[in-house]
Amino acid sequence: MMPDYHWHTARCGHASGSMSEYIMEAQRQGLIEVGFADHIPMYWLPEEGRNPGLAMADEEFPFYVQRVLSLRETTPVPEIRLGVEADFIPGSEGDLKSILSTYPFDYVIGSVHYIDGWGYDNPDLMHEYEQRNLDELYALYFEQLCAAAKSGLFDIIAHPDLIKKFGHRLAKPPLDLYREAALAFAEAGVCVELNTAGLRMAAAEMYPAREFLVECRKKGVPVTTGSDAHQPEQVGWGFRLALELLKDAGYSEVALFRERNRTFTRI
């Protein structure tokens, strides 16, 4: 069995459907364990610099948490976990730490969505790629990814090669960067996320790429799964392929989280 630990909600401003609809879709598919992991408010920016189309406002956050906890109370199957997708922003670790300690999360998914303030995965900012050297960009991206893992703030590292989202790829797969990142994950004790959203994007494959996932397995990095659903129809997206890829990469179990403690279940 594989959990779907990466669901957004309409609160983030770019997802749709009610939270109950996500759960009903999970029930229909027979998922055993799921979790909401909506975007954390943009804590690193002053209020006026935040975009309500990217993440919920500070004052919404307690209501998000309350809603997940109450759904958990009233839903026998699937098991519902309280997660959050939190941006890693170098220099703002202290602020993030204090926000994370405020709520009873089952897991925290750490994401690198920004490179020196550029939201490289935002379709509205895609033109910036034309100004960039792709090799340098990948190196910068992976540097931040490793720093995120080492920060100790996260249980899971999200979509670890999201930089390929719009199809910007290097001439050859960056195996050295994959190895370095897998080693950083292993040393930090974080889990890697197999995220199926890449199947819906120009990347046309999951995050991470097969070679990257294999490096993670070789280094003993645990794995967990998420669809990154932004609408109920995306719950469990591509999970059959994800299961095949996991087995193909040599994984026989996936990580589950409760109160930020990790256990494993066979796939």
Phi first, then psi: give them for residue 167, nearest 5 degrees. 90, 10
| CA–CA distance, 228 with 106 (Å, rounded to integer) | 17
With CB under 5 A as the contact rule, the residue among 228, 229, 232, 239 that binds Zn ion is 228
The answer to whether 178 and 212 are in contact (CB under 8 A) is yes
**Sequential DSSP letters for 155-207:** SEE-STTGGGTTS---SS--HHHHHHHHHHHHHHTPEEEEEGGGGGSTT-SPB
- The CA–CA distances, whole Å, from 50 to 26, 83, 239, 267 equal 32, 22, 33, 40
The answer to whether 71 and 122 are in contact (CB under 8 A) is no
Find the shortest distance in angstroms from Cβ 145 to Zn ion: 12
Residue closer to Zn ion (CB basis): 109 or 214: 109
E strand intervals along the chain? 4-7, 33-39, 79-87, 107-111, 156-157, 191-195, 223-226, 253-258, 261-266
Amino acid (one-letter) located at 112: V
Residue closer to Zn ion (CB basis): 111 or 234: 111
Residue closer to Zn ion (CB basis): 31 or 148: 148
Find the shortest distance in angstroms from Cβ 157 to Zn ion: 11
Find the shortest distance in angstroms from Cβ 87 to Zn ion: 8
Stretch that binds Zn ion, among 79-87, 94-102, 130-138, 185-193 (CB under 5 A): 79-87
- Please give the size of the binding site for Zn ion, defined by CB under 5 A: 3
Residue closer to Zn ion (CB basis): 83 or 174: 83
Stretch that binds Zn ion, among 85-93, 99-107, 133-141, 234-242 (CB under 5 A): 85-93
Amino acid (one-letter) located at 257: F
The answer to whether 13 and 54 are in contact (CB under 8 A) is yes
144 in contact with Zn ion (CB under 5 A): no
Find the shortest distance in angstroms from Cβ 165 to Zn ion: 10
With CB under 5 A as the contact rule, the residue among 111, 144, 227, 234 that binds Zn ion is 111
Residue closer to Zn ion (CB basis): 8 or 174: 8
227 in contact with Zn ion (CB under 5 A): no
Find the shortest distance in angstroms from Cβ 119 to Zn ion: 11
- Could you give the 3-state DSSP secondary structure of residue 42? coil
Find the shortest distance in angstroms from Cβ 230 to Zn ion: 8
Find the shortest distance in angstroms from Cβ 167 to Zn ion: 17
- Catalog residues that contact Zn ion under the rule CB under 5 A: 85, 111, 228
